[in-house]
Chains A and B, each alone.
Chain A
């Protein structure tokens, strides 16, 4: 089976259209999500993400033009209220790698009593390592995004290096910290820690 064939099939695979969790689901982004995702991308929550669209029309175009090697999801509560987004991009079946990203909780008040962010991450890692059988996921975080750096390290991501002056954010250049996670690390550490945190916060 060619890798291109696999990529083309990704978005059509029934088992990838919706990823079901205990508290939230991830469903593939649609054109009709343009307004709400633009609102989130223009909010302060997205200040560490790359600059996005400026209008709903541009956001629709952005959603329409997603390449076949990425999966972009809306995080929804069980009542189907969209509360954020998360993606797996640069999916590469040759090297068995991908980059989780565009992780954004836009409606914090809707998820205050549920561990939505933790479960969204867990679902995206399960997608990468269990459904797609990748070997490694990776990403970069702006050095001033301290809470996200602590978050990723806590859940087992390994700091692998640094791109100097890589991002222009908040009016100045910042280094990008490079992180990676291997499949065995996910199964041995991250899966356990994320499940533990989800259980802890479900126990109210």
Chain B
């Protein structure tokens, strides 16, 4: 079972990996509150997809689980899982709970 802290660490590492591919002027400030989509988001659509790819790859390569964080369950939620690090973490935890 994955813990809250483990998933948060994984998302932060995926954000650090994303930052490595961004030019200096587009690098984002990474915290547990970083906004991912919406009016205050620091990243654009391209980066959001890269982040999703980074997270799914980490889950697959480091944890040996195959999960899609953009599956149908994400769509029926009251709020998008991609608003910020916290909403994304909560969603991934739910996915692990269902495994």
- Contact between B49 and A112, CB atoms less than 8 A apart: no
Give Cα A151–Cα B46 distance, bound, in whole angstroms: 6
CA distance A105 to B26 in the complex (A): 14
Question: Is the C-beta of A138 less than 8 angstroms from some C-beta in chain B?
Answer: no
On whether the beta carbons of B21 and A115 are closer than 8 Å, the reply is no
Interface assignment of B79: CB less than 8 Å from any CB of chain A = yes
The answer to whether B21 and A146 have CB atoms under 8 Å apart is yes
Size of chain A's interface in residues, with CB distance under 8 A?
26
A200 interface contact, C-beta 8 A: yes
| Contact in complex: A203, B45 (CB < 8 Å) | no
B38 contacts A112, C-beta separation under 8 Å: yes
Other-chain contact of B50, A44, A117, A150 (Cβ < 8 Å): A150
Q: Which residues of A contact B26 (CB under 8 A)?
A: 44
Chain B's nearest CB lies how many Å from the CB of A105?
7
Instruction: Report the separation of the CA atoms of residues A200 and B23 in the bound assembly, to the nearest whole angstrom.
Output: 27
Give 1 or 0 for each of A103-120: 1 = CB within 8 Å of chain B CB: 001001000110111100
A-B contact count (CB 8 A): 68
Q: Does B30 contact A (CB under 8 A)?
A: no
Residues of chain B at interface, number, CB under 8 A: 29
Q: Are B53 and A154 in contact (CB under 8 A)?
A: yes
CB distance from B48 to the nearest CB of A (A): 8
Q: Is B44 an interface residue (CB 8 A)?
A: yes
Cβ–Cβ contact B49 & A199, under 8 A: no
B95 to chain A, nearest CB (A): 14
B23 touches A44 (CB 8 A): yes
Chain B positions within 8 Å of A116 at CB level: 45
Which residue of A is nearest B20, CB measured? A146
Residue from A108, A117, A200 having most chain B Cβ neighbours under 10 A: A200
B21 near A200 with CB under 8 A, answer no
Q: Which residues of B contact A112 (CB under 8 A)?
A: 37-41
Residues of B within 8 A of A147 (CB): 18, 21-22, 46-47, 49-50
Closest to B49 in A: A151
B86 to chain A, nearest CB (A): 15
Quote the shortest CB–CB distance from B70 to chain A (angstroms). 6
A131 close to B (CB within 8 Å): no
Q: How far is the CA of A197 from the CA of B72 in the complex (A)?
A: 10
The 3 nearest A-B residue pairs measured at CB: A117-B45, A146-B21, A147-B50
In the complex, 20 of the A-B residue pairs with CB atoms within 8 angstroms, ordered by the A residue number, are A44-B23, A44-B25, A112-B37, A116-B45, A117-B44, A117-B45, A147-B18, A147-B47, A150-B49, A154-B49, A154-B53, A155-B49, A196-B70, A199-B75, A200-B70, A200-B80, A203-B75, A203-B80, A204-B79, A204-B83
